[in-house]
Structure 1
């Protein structure tokens, strides 16, 4: 038996292992397009976290929540990303009471479906489904995520 056929079989075997590894990685991590969608949604959540923190600071400074997102964004020294990174549409802010407000955005991915796998590192207050989702906050009682998307 010559060395050439053995080398050829080793090359074929190594190629099959590489392909299987790449396919396994895509199955576990998702496709590059899915990873991009997840990163965009993570950016949306980060933006909303900043808006939440700014609303809380506004309330601490003035004694009241802002009436609009524009009022919050116009504060000196506050630099907020108040627009969706993909569509450019503004996030929704709505004051729902003296100490309560709601933030809404439209998401591409469904983190609620992956909640069990991510439970160790994902803040449960920011779990969302795909589509429009609103998060409700109460200043005196902490924050909570509304588990149901609102139309």
Structure 2
């Protein structure tokens, strides 16, 4: 009996809880959304040689729909320019993720590692 209980406890410790797995899945979705927004900003920069003033201006020139709201809270992701060629994309994350990278259409990686809570990524559009 003790062996069975020990095996069950060990198994529970080794497997993430369903809530933690859901939180990680939501965070991966947030990163996918932000990566798509960043690629759209890259395309905007490539075409207009400037950053969009806001998400609405960005979406005017986008062929596909961008997911600009958090899948859980439905609050908009935050975008703001910090200089003529730099900007921030911000979201609220449930978990900490390290070594999270996505490759853009130019084959360049962006680091999407983040802490739990509100996190802003300092970015620049890729320039050819």
The residue aligned with 2:55 is: 69
Q: Contact 1:106–1:131 at 8 Å: present in 2 too?
A: yes
Deviation per residue, 1:90-132 (Å, 9 max, x gap): 0000011121111000111122xxx3xxx4xx32711111111
TM-score by length of 2: 0.81
Equivalent residue in structure 2 for 1:16, among 4, 29, 45: 4
TM-superposed CA distance for 1:70, in Å, is: 1.1
The residue aligned with 1:59 is: 45
Larger RCO, structures 1/2 (Cα 8 Å, 6+ apart): 2
The 2-side partners of 1:40 and 1:110 are apart by 12
The residue aligned with 2:35 is: 49
TM-superposed CA distance for 1:44, in Å, is: 0.4
Q: Give the structure with the larger strand fraction.
A: 2
The 2-side partners of 1:73 and 1:23 are apart by 50
Q: How does 1:2-151 map to 2 (within 5 A)?
A: 16=4, 20=7, 23-111=9-97, 115=98, 119=99, 122-123=100-101, 125-139=111-125
TM-score by length of 1: 0.69
TM-superposed CA distance for 1:29, in Å, is: 3.5
Unaligned 5+ segments in structure 1 are 1-11, 142-151
Give 1 or 2 for the bigger CA radius of gyration.
1
Structure 1 residues 101 and 27, CA, compared in 2 at 3 Å: closer, same or farther?
same
Alignment RMSD, CA only? 2.3
Unaligned 5+ segments in structure 2 are 102-109
Q: Contact 1:99–1:140 at 8 Å: present in 2 too?
A: no
Question: In structure 2, the residue corresponding to 1:65 is in which secondary structure?
Answer: coil
TM-superposed CA distance for 1:79, in Å, is: 1.2
